[in-house]
Chain A
Amino acid sequence: MTMGLSSSGEQRRSQLLRGVLDLCLLSLIAERPRYGFEFTQALAAGGLELISDGSVYPLLARMERAGLISSYRAPSASGGAPRKYYRLTEDGRAELTRGRDEWHAFAGQVGRILDDFASTGDDTP
C-alpha cells in the first residue's frame, strides 16, 4: 500500500514536472546559454530529478522548431568536444514571461484550494 502511494506520488510529481519542464528549461537558458547535460545538472540541483536525463532533448528540439530558442556550437568550459549550446530568442523570452505569470496564477489558485479545504476535512462525519 505504501509502495502504491509512493509510486502514485512519484507519478503525480512526474506529471507536474512534465507540464512545466519547458518553462524550467527556458528559465535556465534565460540565466545563461547552456548545453544538454547542464540542464539536467541544474534541474537536479534544484531538486527536480527527471525520469531520464535525455527527455530534455525532444523538448529542446520542439522549442527550437517553435523559434523559442536557438543553438550554436562552442567549446565547453569542462573541455572535450564542442557542445551544442541553447540560448533564448525574443519569442522565447516573451513565452517565459507569459508562462511564469500563468504558473504563479495557477499555483496560487491550487494552493488556496488545498489550504482552505484542508482545515475543514476533520469535521466530515
Chain B
Amino acid sequence: MTNERILAVCRSNWEYRGIDDASVREMLDELSAHLEDASAAGRTTRDVVGDDVRTFAASWARARAPFPRRALRMVSMACFIVGWLALFGCLLRWTTELAVGADDPTFCVALIVVSVAWELRRGTLSLGRSLATGLAATLSAALLTGWLATGGALFTLPLWAAAAMLLPGVPYAVADTRARKATATP
C-alpha cells in the first residue's frame, strides 16, 4: 500500500468518525512525516500502520476524541447538510412548507449524499463504487417508499424546521472554516 493510499484511507476513516477538520489535518501531517521518515529508514508501511490500516485509523480516532463528542459532531453536521438541502428545496419551489415525496429530487439527493458519504468516509470503497452503491440504495429506497406511500407526500417540512436544523452544525462549520483558513495562511 502506498503512503498516499494510507493517508487517503485514514482521512476517510477519521472524517467518517467525526474528527474535526483541524485535528484530521494535524494527524495526517504527523502520519505523513512518520511514513516518510520510516521509508527513509528502510521500514515498510506495514511496519508503521500494521496489517489493517482501518483498524489503526479507528484506534487513533477513538484515542483522539471520545465517542460522545464525535457522535454529537456527526449528528450536528448531518442535520446541517439536510437543513441546507431542505432550505434549497423551499427556495426552488418558493414555499414555506416543503412536501417531500419519494420521487422528490431533494429526497433523492439527500439519500445519495448520505449513502455515498457513509461508504466513502468509511474508506472501504472508491468514489465510483460509492456512487454506484449510493444510486442503488437511493433507487431502492425511492421505489419502496413510493410503493408504500402510493405517490403521496412522505412528510412535510416547514421552513423554520429546515432553518433550525442548521443551528447545531453552525459552530462546527465555523470552526472548520477557520481552521481551513488558518492552515491555508502561511
Q: Report A's interface with B, CB cutoff 8 A.
A: 35-37, 40-41, 51-55, 57-59, 61-62, 65, 76, 78, 80-81, 83-84
* Complex Cα–Cα for A124 and B40 (A): 54
Which residues of chain B are within 8 angstroms of A76 by Cβ–Cβ distance? 33
**How far apart are B140's CB and chain A's nearest CB, in angstroms?**
38
The answer to whether A58 touches B33 (Cβ under 8 A) is no
Chain B residue with the shortest CB-CB distance to A63: B63
Asked whether B64 is an interface residue with its Cβ less than 8 Å from the other chain, the reply is yes
The answer to whether A52 touches B48 (Cβ under 8 A) is yes
Binding site secondary structure of chain B: helix
Known: A58-B60, A61-B63, A84-B26. A36 touches B33 (CB 8 A): yes
Asked whether B85 is an interface residue with its Cβ less than 8 Å from the other chain, the reply is no
* Complex Cα–Cα for A41 and B42 (A): 12
Asked whether B56 is an interface residue with its Cβ less than 8 Å from the other chain, the reply is yes
Partner of B38, one of A35, A37, A78: A37
> How many A-B contacts at CB < 8 Å in the complex?
63
Partner of A51, one of B26, B34, B50, B59: B50
* Complex Cα–Cα for A61 and B56 (A): 13
* Complex Cα–Cα for A62 and B56 (A): 14
* Complex Cα–Cα for A61 and B62 (A): 9
Tally B residues with Cβ within 8 Å of A. Answer: 24
* Complex Cα–Cα for A83 and B29 (A): 8
* Complex Cα–Cα for A57 and B57 (A): 10
A-B contact pairs, 12 of them (CB 8 A): A36-B33, A51-B50, A52-B46, A52-B50, A54-B31, A54-B34, A54-B60, A55-B59, A58-B64, A61-B60, A76-B33, A84-B29
* Complex Cα–Cα for A59 and B37 (A): 20
Asked whether B47 is an interface residue with its Cβ less than 8 Å from the other chain, the reply is yes
Partner of B34, one of A37, A58, A65, A78: A37
Which residues of chain B are within 8 angstroms of A52 by Cβ–Cβ distance? 46-50, 56
Which residues of chain B are within 8 angstroms of A59 by Cβ–Cβ distance? 63
* Complex Cα–Cα for A2 and B46 (A): 26
The answer to whether B36 touches A53 (Cβ under 8 A) is no
Asked whether B30 is an interface residue with its Cβ less than 8 Å from the other chain, the reply is yes
* Complex Cα–Cα for A41 and B27 (A): 20
* Complex Cα–Cα for A76 and B37 (A): 11
* Complex Cα–Cα for A107 and B62 (A): 31
**How far apart are A54's CB and chain B's nearest CB, in angstroms?**
5
Which residues of chain B are within 8 angstroms of A84 by Cβ–Cβ distance? 26, 29-30
Partner of A53, one of B33, B47, B60, B62: B47
* Complex Cα–Cα for A35 and B62 (A): 20
Please name the 5 residue pairs, one residue from A and one from B, whose CB atoms are nearest each other, closest first.
Answer: A52-B50, A58-B63, A61-B63, A37-B37, A61-B64
